Amino acid sequence: MPYGRLPMRRTKEILRLKLEARLSNRQAGQAVGVSCSTVSDTVTRFRASGIPWPVPDAMSDSALERALYRPRGEVATDEREPDWEHVRKELGRRHVTLQLLWSEYKQQHPDGYQYSWFCERYRAWAAKLDPVMRQEHKAGERLFVDWAGDTVPVVDPDTGEVRPAYLFVAVLGASSYTYAEATLCQDTDAFLSAHCRAFQFLGGVPEILVPDNLKTGVNRPDRYEPDIARGYADLAAHYGTAIIPARVRRPRDKAKVEAGVLHAYRHILAPLRNRVFFSLAELNEAISARVAIINERPFKKMSGSRASMFRELDAPALIPLPAEPYVHRTRKSARVHIDYHVELSGHLYSVPHHLVREQVEIAFTASVVEVFFDGQRVASHARSHVRGRATTDPAHMPSSHREAAAWTPARIESWARQTGPATEALVAAIMAARPHPELGFRSCLGILRLSKTYGADRLEAACARALSCGARSYRSVKSILDKRLDTLPVPEDVPPPPPTHDNVRGAAYYS
């Protein structure tokens, strides 16, 4: 699919891996799940667009898509393909380099490939000659990660409950430098947090992460196009690394971590088998001591140790850690309601009013809620766990709101008037009780729609009863109808709704 359109998230990931992580077309294609030609075409289109990298924050996903995917043929070139077989034979000669062969190629084809593309295309062609992938690891290139199958019991000192702890293992390819820790579960948060602590332990980040095809990291395993879990992909983007899962039923792809897990069994779990641990912190302290022993133990068939090889090979080649560690954000899609709020766990959060009825993405942690539209963050709020309330940014409520939206308090009161005076009085009271009338729209519309289920007469009676008892919510009116309280007379000791006069706000107040 060299000229097919990719989702903008995958397009940006390709550009990041090529222009920032400096991966080859093959590695970038494996990480994103596309072909080498798609990677090449994406980079070609981006360079031809003249957009700087990184993409400016102000540029939306839609604008980037329009800039990259023009009509077919615009980015095609007249460059002629070199004779790669001749190139391969010439490279077999002494002192012949790709630089020299490219110079000779350019003399024959001045409008041909530039040097970087010449090298990339040759390597992509050469990779097809030998389908067997040898286990040769560059310094700082790959970190293999997996969970060990066996668990360690952790005893609660207060209740005596025994919980299994799971062992996370990470091994660097070049030096076999090992990291391990225990967690009480294997969910996404535990998996990603273990990666963050592993990077902190290593003091840097590898170019490529090689996980097994576990659910927390890979949504859908596939030899050619694995679907990486969103949280795992976000972690990789934050640390500037790439994810290339091990191929299914290809044990050689993860031989390093399999050996690391075996070492964990023999040199961590076995020596600790007779100890009783009463907390996860106590267990991880013991594991840390055993990991230090593993890394400092001398090799049997070569000089040095994992630790010395790490300091010599991997440590200088690792990508520096970012200023802040990655914080996992759970994501969900939502549609903005007419009151320009989105709902998360029963609480409402405002977004700019012009996004009414738009589909947005909510990214949240235990303390922060962020809303994204078209790849751009449009709102950020402190997380609240109070159900039925709203967190509203005044900047999201401009004075032009009523001009931009078709929904107005007068229109809603007019609809309520068709049911009866009690319904009209209740919706007016609900809007008046809110800090801003629009925040009551959702409750009012819900109340009016109850007439489709219960009929206008019953709804009018239920609203009269809600007014008499001071109820000001959709749930209260629905509860009255569900329990058939609307069929009972309104208590006489409760005064009826106040009459309309100059001191009561009506529909004209909002116009």
What's the confidence (pLDDT) of residue 138? 72
Q: Is 387 left (phi over 0), alpha (psi -120 to 50) or beta?
A: beta
142-317: CATH class: alpha beta
Please give the structure tokens belonging to residue 234.
Answer: 């976000």
| CA 14/CA 43 separation, integer angstroms | 8
What average pLDDT does range 326-350 have in this prediction?
Answer: 88
Q: Are 53 and 21 in contact (CB under 8 A)?
A: no
Coil vs helix vs strand at 209:
strand
Domain ranges of the chain: 8-127, 142-317, 330-400, 407-510
C-beta of residue 460 within 8 angstroms of C-beta of residue 423: yes
pLDDT at 349: 92
Residue-wise pLDDT tens digits, 349-361: 999 988 988 999 9
How many angstroms separate the CA atoms of 365 and 343, rounded?
15
For the sheet with 368-373, list strands across it. 330-335, 359-364, 368-373, 376-382
Mean pLDDT to the nearest integer, 148-169: 89
422 near 458, Cβ under 8 Å? Answer: no
Range 379-389 average pLDDT: 87
pLDDT computed for residue 221 by the predictor = 62
How far is residue 357's CA from residue 339's CA, in Å, rounded to a whole number? 9
Mean pLDDT of 150-169: 90
d(Cα 192, Cα 30) in Å, to the nearest integer? Answer: 21
Location of structure tokens 């990789």: 236
Cis peptide before 54 (omega within 30 of 0): yes
Looking at residue 399, its pLDDT comes to: 57
Q: Which of 88-97, 104-113, 263-272, 470-479 has the highest mean pLDDT?
A: 470-479
Segment of 60-74, 209-223, 236-250 carrying the highest mean pLDDT: 236-250
Work out the pLDDT band at 195, boundaries 50, 70, 90: very high
pLDDT tier at 3, thresholds 50, 70, 90: very low
**pLDDT at res. 118:** 82
Q: What percent of the chain is modeled with pLDDT above 70?
A: 81
Cα distance between the two ends of the chain:
55
Q: Which residue has the higher pLDDT, 76 or 324?
A: 324
pLDDT tens digits, residue range 458-483? 999 999 999 888 888 898 999 999 98
pLDDT(134) > 50: no
State residue 72's pLDDT score.
41
- Cα separation of 398 and 147, whole Å? 52
Distance separating alpha carbons of residues 450 and 272, to the nearest angstrom: 64
pLDDT at position 183 is 92
Closest to 481 (Cα-Cα) out of 500, 499, 458: 458
How confident is the model over 52-100, as pLDDT tens digits? 888 888 788 888 887 787 544 333 344 467 877 677 656 645 467 888 8
What pLDDT is attached to residue 507? 56
**Predicted pLDDT at 387:** 84
Residue 331's Cα: distance from chain center in Å? Answer: 6
Answer with the residue of higher pLDDT: 131 or 119: 119
Those residues with Cβ within 8 angstroms of residue 370's Cβ, 6 or more apart along the chain or in another chain:
329, 362, 363, 364, 377, 379, 380, 381
Q: In 72-186, where does DSSP find H-type helix?
A: 84-91, 98-108, 115-127
The listed range with the strongest mean pLDDT (131-135, 388-392, 479-483) is: 479-483
Rounded to whole angstroms, the Cα distance separating 375 from 372 reads 6
Q: Once rounded to an integer, what is the mean pLDDT over residues 101-116?
A: 81
- Of the given ranges (78-82, 179-183, 506-510), which has the lowest mean pLDDT? 506-510
- In 156-226, the DSSP E strands lie at 162-172, 178-183, 208-211, 218-220
Q: What angle is formed at CA 213 by the lines to CA 233 and CA 195, rounded to 5 degrees?
A: 50
Residue 14 has pLDDT above 60, yes or no: yes
In the predicted structure, residue 286 carries a pLDDT above the cut 90: yes
Contacts by residues 431-437 (CB-CB < 8 Å, ≥ 24 positions apart):
431/510, 432/505, 433/472, 435/392, 436/392, 436/397, 437/409, 437/510
Which residues does 506 contact at the CB level (< 8 Å), separation at least 6? 413, 428, 500
| 299: phi then psi, degrees, rounded to nearest 5 | -65, 155
Higher-confidence position of 199 and 248:
199
**pLDDT single digits (tens) 307-323:** 988 888 788 889 999 98
Contact assessment for residue 358 and residue 341, using Cβ atoms and an 8 Å cutoff: no
* Lowest model confidence (mean pLDDT) among 140-149, 255-264, 340-349, 355-364: 255-264
Q: What is the pLDDT of residue 153?
A: 92
Contacts of residue 225, Cβ cutoff 8 Å, sequence gap at least 6: 33, 34
Is 196 a residue whose pLDDT tops 90? yes
- Residues β-bridged to residue 342: 349
Nearest to 307, CA basis, from 317, 295, 293:
295
The mean pLDDT value for 115-126 works out to 78
- Rounded Cα distance between 482 and 137, Å, is 68
β strands within 351-493, DSSP E: 359-364, 368-373, 376-382, 390-391
Q: Helix, strand or coil for residue 243? A: strand
pLDDT for 404 beyond 80: no
Q: What is the pLDDT of residue 492?
A: 61
Residue with the larger pLDDT of the pair 401 and 261: 261
301 pLDDT exceeds 90?
no
Q: At what angle do helices 441-449 and 409-419 cross, to 10 degrees?
A: 20
| Per-chain mean pLDDT for the chain | 80
Q: Comparing 340 with 511, which gets the higher pLDDT?
A: 340
For residue 190, CA distances in Å to 197, 216, 277, 330 come to: 11, 9, 20, 13
Q: What is the pLDDT of residue 346?
A: 87
